[in-house]
Structure 1
């Protein structure tokens, strides 16, 4: 947007953007489910808390640390996969959807975690991975043992190769992790045979969702975990289950972000209209259970109007707002994405679900320390341009206060409440993300945001576990971010988060109505209920209105009460 173009026009400024105000359910009554305003904390199990000293976090470790989440003030937890898996992609290659991998404990440990969370008033969301299974899943091993055209193979996407001897892949699709999206199998008789589709790792064969048996199986998996008391499911790669029927070639680079802007065709592997029938079936299952169970879409879909289709009244309850996560740290960019997001979800009567970090992206305390306009890196390592750590944390704190003041639901990623940066100097030989190998060592991948988090500065593995073992190396600077160095320390990132979550609940910001105030291209200002929020993106400090009562700020104000650059303030006029 040109600098001379004001990003607040009178038309948009005067229109309130609502969440939780006038939505209606399918029976015509108002809805105000817990998910419409919840703050949900993502736990990456292998990096949260290790109970037995093997260097890998586990379910008993999570249970032992639940009081931290209560103290922090979140409403629910989302657990990344803990199912039996060869761990080709850190558990997103599931071999059994109805059990717990011994790395993380046993099924009774999951039951205890759910019960203990509920006893503390925390809801529990678990990951569901329906686009693909592990190649170790009994369905896939059965498929490899049978001939082409078998019922076993019809559960996956098997195709004959191209060329006279079938030696070429069925199409030109590329894996998200790099390299071809097809692998040729050896048939039971020992001859080279068909190819199977894997949009991710070779150990993650894509399921065929046109097969009714696949649909029935996952309805049963939903019921298995709902019967055990989970409050919902985060659905991995929710936009990828249905592929275009002709599996047409796609010449553009393969990315998990569909890139389906209005003037571009949708890729044949992403965001096909048929996915919505699946989620309507799932919604009917969840609606049959008490306690407001929810579905959350991980759908890297643009534009916002396409994403909103996933949260129509008879489909999912939430969809991560990745367009917001990717938005540049400027007032015009933030204004545009917030407005567009709220208008799109308001149009279908759903909340907007805000997120800044997760286990798949560079942590925002580092991402925002890169020059504005830098393309989002897929990991940062030795030899790469390094973020400005102080600037990144300053902007991250401001971005967090901005996000937590917006109406709707918000997700936090474990450790962001400590201000954790990306581990940007991890030795390459320690990396485990399949992206690193499959990209030919050109993309560092996601290990840097998955490092076990620090609890105690002077303890082994910084309190992650009882020994120094850690499945990914922790940087030496982790000590200064440890929880015990921040608890009850005024101005610490941890205490900033705690205060923000308390005020968010006190002022009912998640239920609120956003109304923009006029401001220039370097400042963003809006009202949400009785609260006014101001973020200064410019170089000069900005004065607050006379008589403003400051309730919270991401950094101290100037001596004369002005808001410095890269600072967000919550105040009452």
Structure 2
């Protein structure tokens, strides 16, 4: 059934589940070791069986691949690595033919330094024809350009080092909040915004159904570009107060909606990736009356296991912190706006290794528990490829096994500071984005059925046991548990529309909450034991005769006032109000 039927036409995505495809690692159809669009088409039955409604396609545009495609050199074409525009059209036709929708990645905080816009901006130095399309600044007063400390300000790039690169041809620096090959666009220039809008309309005319907007809350910068605070032990300043949800961000997003999204005859999905966004800001971004975005990706919950040293400073997760964070977002957007729900994506380590237990004894069980907890929250769930199999972090042996620019830069920087090699590798093994980017595990054959060539990054050796073929044949597998959760969202109104009430917020092992939908007269109870030991909990009254809807272990015991959950056990119960 088409998604626009069976629910409010202006919010079809509230009842949908999105599946993210990282094309480079999904399926390779031509044996070059890199996934492609035809590979997605050939594996489409997997997505149909899972029951997802929307595909989110990570960038497939022409790119030098300094940041694996998030450095785009042509917004209106397909990189030959992935195929052609004709291949894309065939994929889109297949998506729509199965009653699904397709969302494209929109990467417009920056381009590649090989994009014609930047070439024109750089050519001719300060007289470049598109000079003002990017953010150029001279050296600090009295400083020799190109010397240490002469950068226009002290900002640090998200990928380590200065956020400025000196261009000798023009005698100025350009800003790049990420890689030096990803110069930031100057959104203060209306010509830039108009070019972005024209490009978006071009894809909508082709038939896509919306956009996931990469780091979209970084596009508005304080024009003064002031120095940032220098954290202890750092050589650079934190510039984020000057560009995270910057001064004109709401104006820019309202303009995009007014000029591109609203005129489209189809009801689109827009989700903004927003590092550093707060609940209060997200209420504004997702308030339907403001006409900016449908939902945002926030990062609060995936930063809870980081120490003061940042992403690679790994700390154990406290369940109370996770419950408090997710509960705050559930409550904060409960009456205005909408939540996106995710554990994994192309930038996050695998959740079963991170928040679960990837040992053989508990891997499947904890993967199912994590899925149950996430999908029963209020919001739109996002499944990242392989998550539905319980794919885990990879056993990277040395720095030569990594491919991601963020990981390689971190290793180089920490090595230069004299940090112990094994300490650096330990952080990378736990948190590197490469954990999410190892090839999809289709079967137990060599290279997991991903390619008959040599994969661009090594396949996780556990694919001989953890793969789609084996799980499809096992009705108790992680895959089939995800399939049942997705089906439950499509059929149970309380999952989509019910309110959220957290139980036992201070319990260090129990995650429990209710979802109540007055309109359907239904209430759901979710119980999850986040631990490897039995757990006895006291339940509120009235649940003894409830119906068990879904469970991650067979034959869950009937609920009692004092109920015992087995290790990593999770189940969902329903009662009539």
TM-score, normalization: structure 2?
0.83
- Equivalent in 339, 346, 349 of residue 334 of structure 2: 346
SS at match of 2:208: coil
What is the RMSD computed on CA atoms of the aligned residues?
A: 2.5
- Equivalent in 169, 173, 197 of residue 151 of structure 2: 169
1:478 to 2:456 alignment: no
Alignment partner, residue 316 of structure 1: 293
Say if 1:104 and 1:516 are closer, same or farther in 2 by CA, change over 3 A.
Answer: same
Paired with 1:399 and 1:302, the residues of 2 have a C-alpha distance of: 24
- Equivalent in 361, 369, 384 of residue 348 of structure 2: 361
Alignment partner, residue 464 of structure 1: 450
Question: 1:388: how far off?
Answer: 5.0
Q: Contact 1:325–1:357 (CA<8 Å) still a contact in 2?
A: no
- Equivalent in 479, 490, 515 of residue 527 of structure 1: 515
Paired with 2:494 and 2:556, the residues of 1 have a C-alpha distance of: 26
Q: Contact 1:536–1:566 (CA<8 Å) still a contact in 2?
A: yes
Paired with 2:182 and 2:26, the residues of 1 have a C-alpha distance of: 25
Deviation readout 1:313-372 (Å, 9 max, x if unpaired): 21011111322444576553344223321232234x3221111100001110111248xx
Q: Report the count of equivalent residues.
A: 513
Alignment partner, residue 431 of structure 1: 402
1:491 to 2:473 alignment: no
Paired with 2:469 and 2:383, the residues of 1 have a C-alpha distance of: 20
Alignment partner, residue 23 of structure 1: none
1:542 to 2:536 alignment: yes
Alignment of 1:372-383 (within 5 A): none
Say if 1:520 and 1:112 are closer, same or farther in 2 by CA, change over 3 A.
Answer: closer
Higher relative contact order (CA 8 A, sep 6+): 1
Paired with 1:251 and 1:139, the residues of 2 have a C-alpha distance of: 32
Alignment of 1:25-36 (within 5 A): 32-36=10-14
Alignment partner, residue 29 of structure 2: 51
SS at match of 2:216: coil
Say if 1:110 and 1:448 are closer, same or farther in 2 by CA, change over 3 A.
Answer: same
TM-score, normalization: structure 1?
0.84
Say if 1:161 and 1:266 are closer, same or farther in 2 by CA, change over 3 A.
Answer: closer
Alignment partner, residue 572 of structure 1: 574
Alignment of 1:33-432 (within 5 A): 33-148=11-126, 150-162=128-140, 163-166=142-145, 167=147, 168-187=150-169, 193-252=171-230, 267-284=241-258, 285-313=260-288, 314-327=291-304, 332-347=320-335, 349-369=336-356, 388=359, 390-391=361-362, 394-432=365-403
Question: 1:393: how far off?
Answer: 5.1
Question: 1:187: how far off?
Answer: 1.1
SS at match of 1:70: helix
SS at match of 1:484: helix
Larger mean Cα displacement after TM superposition, 161-170 or 293-302: 161-170
Question: 1:310: how far off?
Answer: 2.0
Deviation readout 1:496-554 (Å, 9 max, x if unpaired): 11111112212134422134265473331313443321123465433674233322112
Q: Contact 2:344–2:350 (CA<8 Å) still a contact in 1?
A: yes
Point out the structure with the larger helix share. Answer: 2
Paired with 1:392 and 1:269, the residues of 2 have a C-alpha distance of: 40
Say if 1:225 and 1:536 are closer, same or farther in 2 by CA, change over 3 A.
Answer: same
Deviation readout 1:78-126 (Å, 9 max, x if unpaired): 0000000000000000000000000000011111111110000110000
Q: Contact 1:369–1:390 (CA<8 Å) still a contact in 2?
A: no
Alignment partner, residue 8 of structure 1: none
Q: Contact 1:366–1:422 (CA<8 Å) still a contact in 2?
A: yes
Question: 1:142: how far off?
Answer: 1.8
Say if 1:44 and 1:130 are closer, same or farther in 2 by CA, change over 3 A.
Answer: same
Q: Contact 2:341–2:382 (CA<8 Å) still a contact in 1?
A: yes
Say if 1:150 and 1:395 are closer, same or farther in 2 by CA, change over 3 A.
Answer: same
